[in-house]
Amino acid sequence: MTMITAIDTTPRIWVGCLACYNNGNLTGEWFDAIEGDDITLGDVHGGAQYVSPGCEELWVLDHENLPLKGECSPHDAAQVALVVEEVHESDREAFIAWALSGDQIEDGDGLPSTSDFEERYCGTWASFREFAENLADDIALLDGIPDEIARYFDWQSWTRDLAFDYTTCNIDSGVYVFRSI
């Protein structure tokens, strides 16, 4: 498993005023996403309450370290951030990848389930093949089989069949592996 160190995984949101944005005045600020419900118009207007006609609604126009596709309200971002912050920092990038994978399990509120993630996450590997070979060791797949026979074992087919039960997300250093079943 790869050790991930010193990566900032704090969920952040760039919040702007929707009316200003629609008037072509891109005014906003970065915040910790968890504070989404406490952000005010003044916070994104440099202190002023109203800048454009209709200043009212705050909107998340950009974000980082959150499993969100596109824009949302600061409230929704804060709800997702609470879930992300339940996950240990070293696993957050994997959690976010899983939550966006299409294979994630959601709880009753439509948020990715951290307990399902923990059950399914099998670590970060250089390749799925490396994961498969490690698993074969763990389950003692070829134990008791003489080396002169074991060396003919068809790793390629075995790995391909195994892959049906897993989801992988590619990253620069390899793959995140998740159990699908």
The count of residues in the chain is 181
Which CB, 11 or 16, lies closer to Zn ion? 16
Closest CA to 83 of 59, 103, 63, 106: 106
Query: Contact region for Zn ion (CB under 5 A) — 10-18, 99-107, 128-136, 153-161?
Result: 10-18
Contact between 177 and Zn ion by CB under 5 A: the answer reads: no
| Residues 99/112, Cβ–Cβ less than 8 Å | yes
Out of 4, 14, 43, 51, name the contact with Zn ion by CB under 5 A: 51
Residue type, 161: D
Strand order in the sheet with 28-32: 28-32, 12-17, 58-64
One character per residue 53-72, x = contact with Zn ion (rule: CB under 5 A): --x-----------------
CB of 12 to Zn ion, least distance (A): 21
Contact between 127 and Zn ion by CB under 5 A: the answer reads: no
Out of 4, 10, 35, 52, name the contact with Zn ion by CB under 5 A: 52
Sequential DSSP letters for 90-138: GGHHHHHHHHTSS---B-TTSPBPHHHHHHHEEEEES-HHHHHHHHHHH
Contact between 20 and Zn ion by CB under 5 A: the answer reads: yes
Out of 15, 17, 122, 177, name the contact with Zn ion by CB under 5 A: 17
Residues that bind Zn ion (CB under 5 A): 17, 19-20, 51-52, 55
